[in-house]
Amino acid sequence: MNRSLINLRRCGSDVTANSPLAQLDRDLKADWKSRRDRVLSQHAADLDDVDWQCPRLPESQSFYALPEQLLLAYERHREESELGHVFRIANSLHDRLDAIVVLGPPNAILSVQAITAACCDPYHNEMSRADRGSKPRIYFADTEMDNDFIQSLVWRLARNGYGDVRAEQRWGIVAIDDQQSRSQVIPLLRFLAGQMPTWDDAVSGENASEIPAPITIITAQPDDWATSIGGFGPPFELLHSNSLLSGTMGALAPASLLPAAFLGLDVIQLLVGAAAINKNFAEGEWNENLSLQLAGLIEQRQLDCIGWSNSFDGLLRWWIKAIETATEASATWARSGAINPTRSANRPAVTMHWLAEPPRTDPVQLWDTSGDLISVEQLKRQRFESVVSASATPTCDQIELVLPGIDTHPIGQVMQLGLILAELARERSR
């Protein structure tokens, strides 16, 4: 796994050699430093403080020091830590079921999809259980889905997996609760739980007491769930989060880490990557600070992101949502080659090209229209150069955000970078 930092550069050059911050006058540089210091004073944590060494997630834990807190708690407390509970639940269930449904509010679902769509095979759900390494298929159900979507989901789950082992007839639920959406989550949870097959079955030779709960509810208010859910049938387990980590801000919280762990993704490296961005933000000089460079580029400008890998689709949807939630700036994203048709040529803008090097799989060779052999990556590079040329205007900066690969470590970096940018934007409006 490549643990290098993501690279930010102008199209055709290195941003560090031509940093936007180098063009700021002294007063603006002082403002950026002050804004960074305010973010750090509000969100950074002294992890040597005894209050931050508890095994479970502190109620006052915000997004910024979350990666370090989760990693430190796991290192010190193992099974009793929040990550320890994530691993225990995922490891105890993934061999016993063939699918999981992640249920919750749309922004929370978006966070999970950003990670899983980037890191999993695009056809993960269509693979046999053996080809998936016995990891479950994954489906999503947000609180805004309509009647037809619900019916189709239940129909698919009832058809089981692609084989005849007992696990392929079972599925589970990960429900993400927050105070604002609980009244929408509970009815859907009751309905889906009512469709679940019985897990205690003589064919498997297991007793109910030996089988883990098929439902996990991730909540910041665990004490009142028994009252809220009422006469709920299937057994369930509670996993703790806190009220500061809801929606897009909980992108690296247990609500996202548990589904990722079910799929066998390296959630430790997801958090290590995020921690690397924190270190870069807190300690990096102006010409190497990724967060401040990007914040300086996109502030008060139209932001258009172009993803040059299909794996970026979910990630870009989440990233744009996180930025737009925190700022009034307009932002768009598109698949490779598409240019925002609504952008004014006279309006200051930034086009951010998302790239990944190298591809994860063997190169595909194609015959081009001239009869020459060319790789898919070479064709993509040609299209990229054409789009860069077509997008060039005096009021538009074009930059490349280059991941050293598509894996959990760089994905963790990109997600923490998005969260920091959103918080810097909020700090400007305060």
> Which of 416, 420, 414 has its CA nearest to residue 402?
414
Contacts of 378 (CB under 8 A, 6+ apart): none
DSSP letter for 367, please.
E
Q: Which CATH number fits domain 66-265: 3.40.50.720, 3.40.50.10490, 3.30.390.30, 2.60.40.420?
A: 3.40.50.10490
Question: Where along the chain do its domains lie?
Answer: 7-43+269-429, 66-265
pTM of this structure: 0.92
Equal CATH topology for 7-43+269-429 and 66-265: yes
Cα 149–chain centre separation? 23
Nearest in space to 305 (alpha carbons), one of 401, 414, 405: 401
Alpha-carbon dihedral sign for residues 280, 282, 284, 288:
positive
pLDDT truncated to tens, each residue of the chain (430 aa)? 668 899 998 886 544 444 444 455 566 667 778 889 999 999 988 877 776 778 888 888 899 999 999 999 999 999 999 999 999 999 999 889 999 999 999 999 999 999 999 999 999 999 999 999 999 999 999 999 999 999 999 999 999 998 888 889 999 999 999 888 899 999 999 999 999 987 765 445 556 667 789 999 999 888 877 777 766 777 889 999 998 898 899 999 999 999 999 999 999 999 999 999 999 999 988 778 999 988 888 887 888 999 999 999 999 999 999 988 777 667 888 887 666 655 555 678 889 999 998 888 888 999 988 888 999 999 999 999 999 988 888 888 899 999 999 999 999 999 999 999 999 988 876 6
CATH of 7-43+269-429, one of 3.40.1170.60, 3.40.50.10490, 1.10.1740.10, 3.30.70.270: 3.40.50.10490
